[in-house]
Structure 1
Amino acid sequence: MGKTSNRQVRRIIVSGYYGFNNSGDEAVLKSILNALHAEGEAQGITIEPVVLSADPAWTTRMYGCEAVQRMSPSVLLREIRRCDGLISGGGSLLQDATGWKTIPYYTGVLTLAQMLGKPTFIYSQGVGPVNRGWLFAPIRRVMNKSRYVSVRDAESAALLSRIGVPQERIEVVPDPVMGLPLPEGTQTSAASSASTDALPVIGVSLRHWRKDGVDLERAAAALAALASRRSVRYRFLPFHTPDDTETSQVVIDRLTAIGIGSSIAELAAPGDDPQQMLLEVSRCDMMFGMRLHALIYAANQRVPLIGLSYDPKIDQFLNRLGLTAIGTTEQLDPAQFAASADSLLSDLDGWRSRHGEVIDRLKREAQRPAQQIVALLSQTTKR
């Protein structure tokens, strides 16, 4: 972004789970960068983002912005001293389901910025689950010292309120990815099948969760049950490579062993760019998703969706659309899935009509954190 003599320039660090080849988190980053740039232009401010990344060179190539190593204390200290503020988010950063070290890292980055007198902003985070009580204190401390706090669902807001963050300080907004646009110069019609053989295209996003793999066996049985009712094209979409690629291949092999008649199962390779994955999702007629951002991508593009829950965040997002999960990693009835998916495929336009208004509202509200943060940065005196 170019500088002009009559524009304020604000250098802002963006902290999150970036540079790990996870399409959902990369989509969060892309959405935040887009929104900050758009709001900066609207408010007459040049925003210069600096991303904390596990792979700074890749992040710079992908997004055209400065990126630095997220785990180097000396780099963090240097960059925070140079910045005008720090954004933490979005995604599920403050949770201990994946281990206890996650929360200390992200609260530690926020604490360092606050100790150096830099304003901090929480951008549409999903908070929880937090099963270790000793982690409440650092979360409460950094939240109460942040200039702006936004979370992506009411459950996250309720958890923060229970641990001592005043409710009036918390804004509930959609996930940033609800505002992500398709790649420039592309367009698609969600109302028509992307398949050249006229089979309805069903995007499938699964992840490895249960160690015994029973959840994937259930998912394969459900997909086979639908294929026994009608011919479809299953397009498996790996959101986190290489893990999801391997998981998808396991399920494809299982479907081949079961037999799916004239239906087709294939693995997509949309690459690293989150907008290319969004385009891939937009070309589906329906989405069967376990990954949260697979479901968010689908809603973003008005692609009718069915969710499989492995975490409360799945249920929380579905609830915002007025939906419930078809099953969980502990229970999924193949006949129920097949009947629901068959019914949905027979009334795609009806689904869009029923949920379109909510989706449009979520897309508008997804810009709210960027609007607030840029406005606050414009009031900040450069150090």
Structure 2
Amino acid sequence: MPEPRDANAPRALRIAISGYYGFRNSGDEAVLKSILLALEAEGSAQGVRIEPIVLSGDPAWTESMYGVQAAGRMSPGGLLRTIARCDGLISGGGSLLQDVTGSKTIPYYAGILKLAQLLGKPTFIYAQGVGPVLNRCMDGLIRHVMTRSAYVSVRDAESAELLGRMGVPSERISVVPDPVMGLPLPKGAEATAGDARDRTPVVGISLRRWRKDGADLIRAAEALGELARRRPVRLRFLPFHTPADAEASREAMERLGELGPGSSAELAEPGDDPQRMLLEVSRCDLLVGMRLHALIYAAGQRVPMLGISYDPKIDQFLARLQERAAATTEAMDASAFADAAERLLDGSAAWRADKAPLIDRLQREAVEPAQHIVRQLRQKAKR
């Protein structure tokens, strides 16, 4: 016979979460971890218990990694059953509604939203980056699911402008930071960078293969090699998406050339836990990043950064810190890049002081979607 429910126990709200999860991409997994932590904290603050169910490419791995329920993301019958037993569905974060990575991406994620809406479940857009959308035929589908969502938040003004051009009313769109701005270090861990006077400065490096001919990696290696010949640095390559980023990092390492006295290069192996990668970044004195979430990790931990842009989302995030990309995958001046790196290594304290108000604001605003979502679901449950 089941035990009677405690009348004082928090009301449970079951929320399905849709995104690019379960594929061991550190950036996307960091988004998921940030959303889970924000929902848990906000549920506790509002007196409800949140029970997430993550739609994952590897449900068993996701359950083991985060200690939450997970379900397969591709089975139509399984998705129907999972969403039907939830109180609502979150779509995000990350760049889900774009067709640069494939023509099926927008129909898939919009289809998940539409399925939830057909089942009468409120849907919530959580700090998504929308676009680029090359196929204008997708505009109507995106507008349809967005206008029928209970809450819409995007991670930059450019995404809001794109939705506005598609016909989504601007007053329904909130612009908030990427949820990873709120990701904390693992419990018991502390950042150790910030004063490199008595040790070799650590330069964290997040590279990915973008150009098919590898010219971007060659240029990055040339610039990093230039820096490592000018002064002692510890080049620590951080693969955010394995195994692809590890392979790109090894290729760049092979092209560094002879380093200067006291300099070294190494490949980190932080594993799949996004908070372990965050800890890696926190221990750097400078972060050189192509991956968006490498730059977001650095900002959250007050680590000076140099961005290499391959996508508008890199420029959009850097703009929120009043920064510009130091290079792109199409053009990089090795000497100028090394000059910029040296300025940041020598002026890290000034950089942190200058950026602190901007970063503080982003971190405060990063939890706003969770606050709205939990509040709306709690109010709906009372009716």
TM-score band, normalised by the shorter chain? over 0.9
1:226 deviates by: 1.0
Contact 2:230–2:260, Cα closer than 8 Å, also in 1? no
CA distance in 2, matches of 1:40, 1:249: 43
| Structure 2: runs of 5 or more not aligned | none
- Could you tell me which residue of structure 2 aligns to residue 19 of structure 1? 22
- How does 1:172-321 map onto structure 2 within 5 Å? 172-193=175-196, 198-255=199-256, 258-262=257-261, 263-321=263-321
Contact 2:231–2:260, Cα closer than 8 Å, also in 1? no
Residue deviations 1:66-121 (CA, integer Å, cap 9, x gap): 00000011110001110000000000001011011000000000000000100000
1:189 deviates by: 3.4
Q: Tell me which amino acid in the other structure corresponds to 1:260.
A: L
Please state whether the residue corresponding to 1:127 is helix, strand or coil: coil
Q: Tell me which amino acid in the other structure corresponds to 1:191.
A: G
CA distance in 1, matches of 2:184, 2:63: 20
Please state whether the residue corresponding to 1:25 is helix, strand or coil: helix
- How does 1:84-99 map onto structure 2 within 5 Å? 84-99=87-102
CA distance in 2, matches of 1:123, 1:161: 17
Please state whether the residue corresponding to 1:94 is helix, strand or coil: coil
1:130 aligns with one of 119, 127, 133: 133
Does residue 158 in structure 1 map to residue 161 in structure 2?
A: yes
CA distance in 1, matches of 2:133, 2:76: 25
- Could you tell me which residue of structure 2 aligns to residue 5 of structure 1? 7
1:61 deviates by: 0.3
Aligned residues: 377
1:58 aligns with one of 57, 61, 66: 61
Contact 1:190–1:301, Cα closer than 8 Å, also in 2? no
CA distance in 2, matches of 1:140, 1:382: 30
1:220 deviates by: 0.5
CA distance in 2, matches of 1:4, 1:227: 62
- Could you tell me which residue of structure 1 aligns to residue 329 of structure 2? 329
1:382 deviates by: 8.0
Q: Tell me which amino acid in the other structure corresponds to 2:335.
A: A
Please state whether the residue corresponding to 1:380 is helix, strand or coil: helix
- Could you tell me which residue of structure 2 aligns to residue 354 of structure 1? 354
Q: Tell me which amino acid in the other structure corresponds to 1:158.
A: E
Query: Aligned-pair RMSD on alpha carbons?
Result: 1.3
Does residue 344 in structure 1 map to residue 361 in structure 2?
A: no
Contact 2:26–2:241, Cα closer than 8 Å, also in 1? yes
1:187 deviates by: 1.1
Q: Tell me which amino acid in the other structure corresponds to 2:290.
A: M
CA distance in 2, matches of 1:192, 1:132: 49
Contact 1:120–1:147, Cα closer than 8 Å, also in 2? yes
Does residue 72 in structure 1 map to residue 72 in structure 2?
A: no
- Could you tell me which residue of structure 1 aligns to residue 106 of structure 2? 103
382 and 16 in structure 1: CA distance in 2 versus 1, 3 angstrom threshold: farther
Question: TM-score, structure 1 length as denominator?
Answer: 0.97
Contact 1:27–1:180, Cα closer than 8 Å, also in 2? yes
Q: Tell me which amino acid in the other structure corresponds to 1:341.
A: A
336 and 82 in structure 1: CA distance in 2 versus 1, 3 angstrom threshold: same
Identity of aligned residues (%): 66
2:34 aligns with one of 31, 51, 60: 31
CA distance in 2, matches of 1:241, 1:146: 34
1:4 deviates by: 4.8
Contact 1:84–1:382, Cα closer than 8 Å, also in 2? no
Question: TM-score, structure 2 length as denominator?
Answer: 0.97
Please state whether the residue corresponding to 2:217 is helix, strand or coil: helix
Contact 1:190–1:302, Cα closer than 8 Å, also in 2? no
